[in-house]
Structure 1
Amino acid sequence: MATPAFEEIVEDFEFLEDWEDRYRHVIDQGKAMEPLDDALKVPATKVHGCASQVWLHPIIENRVFRFDGDSDALIVRGLIAVLRSLYNGLPVSEVPKVDAGGELARLGLNDHLSAQRSNGLRAMIERIREVAQENA
């Protein structure tokens, strides 16, 4: 189950054969996001387990899940943008059911991220799932 926004990223990746181009595309996705307000960069929104600084701010309105986020690392900011395309707009009850690993594998990210980045990505996914389960 993937959102149309995530399917668009999958399609973009199919056209980008070189991993440098794909990496750049992920970074560009992050650059296109609005920065998270500094007032939201607090301990409650910080994701632990990431090598860089990461904040995720969930917003649940009318049982629909979305989140904003930010990082001090460009590639991680891009990964946040990819996760937003995967989860934003889903009913909150559907968020924990998303096979994030399977969906992200379609992009081949697992093979091209460092162990630290992969751990950080898993920590972000876990935080998203926890928030959704608490509010389902």
Structure 2
Amino acid sequence: MSLPVEAAEALQIFQNAAGWEQRARLLMQFGDRLPALDDAQKCEANRVHGCESQVWLVGELRDGHWQFKASSDARMIRGLVALLLLRVNGLSAADIKQIDLPDWFNQLGLSRQLSPSRSNGLNAVLQRMNELAR
């Protein structure tokens, strides 16, 4: 499965990063660029359960391709979620089911940033995407 253009660009940026500190800074920048959800979208129905931080997710199907928007109250999680969105936005429901999260974050050089709780949280976000895409 080929990468969406924006995901491929992000991958290039992270692979060119000189070490962990630069990747951490990039992660924050990607999180800061996430379009904000409005207050109405930050409701209980859109909250992803299974995350230690608050994460909200909304999805919309356009011409057979999913577009997700998300937000979090935690800056690091916002960055990780932003990179997950780059990986899944524009995909079909069938393609979303095949996303290998650990592999994606490993390619980005961010696997050491994924503590078990963060990893569980991101899996919960991906699971919620799959539920919405059903």
TM-score by length of 1: 0.90
1:33 deviates by 1.6
1:51 deviates by 1.1
Q: Secondary structure at the match of 1:39?
A: helix
Q: Tell me if structure 1 keeps the 8 A contact 2:50–2:121.
A: yes
1:97 deviates by 2.0
1:92 deviates by 2.9
1:90 deviates by 1.3
Is 1:90–2:98 an aligned residue pair?
no
CA deviation profile, 1:30-69 (whole Å, cap 9, x unmatched): 1112111110111111011111110010111221101000
1:47 is matched with 48
Q: Tell me if structure 1 keeps the 8 A contact 2:14–2:23.
A: yes
Q: Tell me if structure 2 keeps the 8 A contact 1:56–1:69.
A: yes
1:130 deviates by 2.1
2:111 is matched with 110
Q: Within 2, Cα distance between the matches of 1:97 and 1:117? A: 20
TM-score by length of 2: 0.91
Once the two structures are overlaid, the 10-residue window that deviates more, 121-130 or 35-44, is 121-130
Q: Sequence identity of aligned pairs in percent?
A: 38
Q: Secondary structure at the match of 1:69?
A: strand
AA at the equivalent of 1:113: L
Q: Secondary structure at the match of 1:52?
A: coil
Once the two structures are overlaid, the 10-residue window that deviates more, 4-13 or 65-74, is 4-13
AA at the equivalent of 2:49: H
Question: After the TM superposition, which segments of 4 or more aligned residues of structure 1 sit over 4 Å from their partners?
Answer: none
Q: Tell me if structure 1 keeps the 8 A contact 2:14–2:109.
A: no
Q: Within 2, Cα distance between the matches of 1:125 and 1:112? A: 17
Q: How does 1:7-46 map to 2 (within 5 A)?
A: 7-46=8-47
Q: Which runs of 5+ in 1 are unaligned?
A: none
Q: Secondary structure at the match of 1:67?
A: strand
Q: Within 2, Cα distance between the matches of 1:93 and 1:63? A: 10
Instruction: Name the Cα RMSD after superposition.
Output: 1.4
Q: Tell me if structure 2 keeps the 8 A contact 1:60–1:92.
A: no
